[in-house]
Amino acid sequence: MTIRGNWYVKAAVALTALAVILLLSAPAQAQGAGEKVYKAKCAGCHGPDGAGATAAGKAMKVTSLCSDEAKKASDAAWTEIIVKGKNKMPAYDKKLSEAEIKDVVAYMRSLCKK
Ligand code: HEC
């Protein structure tokens, strides 16, 4: 076995490993986008579990995202509140993209299924 042959095998193994890592991480990233936005921008008021039981949440009368009323609200209604704001809820139309809002709504819905 020549040294060149060894290099070739190592490079092939490394490339295969890289491809596998990229394939595995792509869906995980899409799923985590809403969670990332929520934890960075929303959990401060709405709480990590969506119940709004944080100090800031209580002070601003944040309603639980998992209440019966919130569950009845459509994704479109939530999107509108996120885009335009409502009372103490800030508007995010300039801070989040449409895709980010869609991901964060999906993430909030998943919080209430637990
Ligand atoms: C400064 C505190 C604060 C932050 C930060 C905040 N919210 Fe809110 N949010 C509120 C308050 C207060 C309400 C209740 C508004 C009302 O009904 O008077 C609310 C209501 C909502 C509702 C409506 C829930 C229902 O009962 O139907 C949604 C959806 C929502 N927020 C999403 C978000 C998202 C997404 C983020 C982050 C991008 C976020 N909020 C960040 C304070 C906050």
Ordered domains of the chain (ranges, CATH) = 32-112 (1.10.760.10)
Name the nearest CA neighbour of 100 among 70, 79, 86.
Answer: 79
Q: What is the pLDDT of residue 22?
A: 65
Span from the CA of 103 to the centroid of ligand 1 (angstroms):
15
Name the residue with higher pLDDT: 9 or 50. Answer: 50
Separation between Cα atoms, residue 12 and residue 101, nearest integer Å: 40
Separation between Cα atoms, residue 78 and residue 63, nearest integer Å: 13
Q: What is the pLDDT of residues 27-80, one digit of tens each?
A: 555 558 999 999 999 999 999 999 999 999 999 999 999 999 999 999 999 999
Asked if residue 83 has its Cβ within 6 Å of ligand 1, the reply is: no
Span from the CA of 67 to the centroid of ligand 1 (angstroms):
13
Q: Could you identify the atom of ligand 1 that is nearest to the CA of residue 101?
A: 35
For the chain, give the mean pLDDT. 87
Inter-residue contact 49 to 64 (CB < 8 Å): no
Provide DSSP, 24-73: HHHHHHHHHHHHHHIIIIIHHHH-TTSS--SHHHHHTTPPPTTSHHHHHS
Whether the pLDDT of residue 24 is over 90: the answer is: no
HSE at residue 51, side-chain half, CA atoms within 13 A, is 6
Prediction pTM value: 0.79
Dihedral-angle region of residue 93 (phi above 0 means left; psi in -120 to 50 means alpha; beta otherwise): alpha
Whether the pLDDT of residue 110 is over 60: the answer is: yes
Give the percent of the chain with pLDDT over 90.
68
Q: Could you identify the atom of ligand 1 that is nearest to the CA of residue 108?
A: 35
Asked if residue 39 has its Cβ within 6 Å of ligand 1, the reply is: no
Inter-residue contact 51 to 111 (CB < 8 Å): no
Q: How confident is the model at residue 5 (pLDDT cuts 50, 70, 90)?
A: confident
Q: Could you identify the atom of ligand 1 that is nearest to the CA of residue 73?
A: 27
Whether the pLDDT of residue 102 is over 90: the answer is: yes
Separation between Cα atoms, residue 84 and residue 44, nearest integer Å: 19
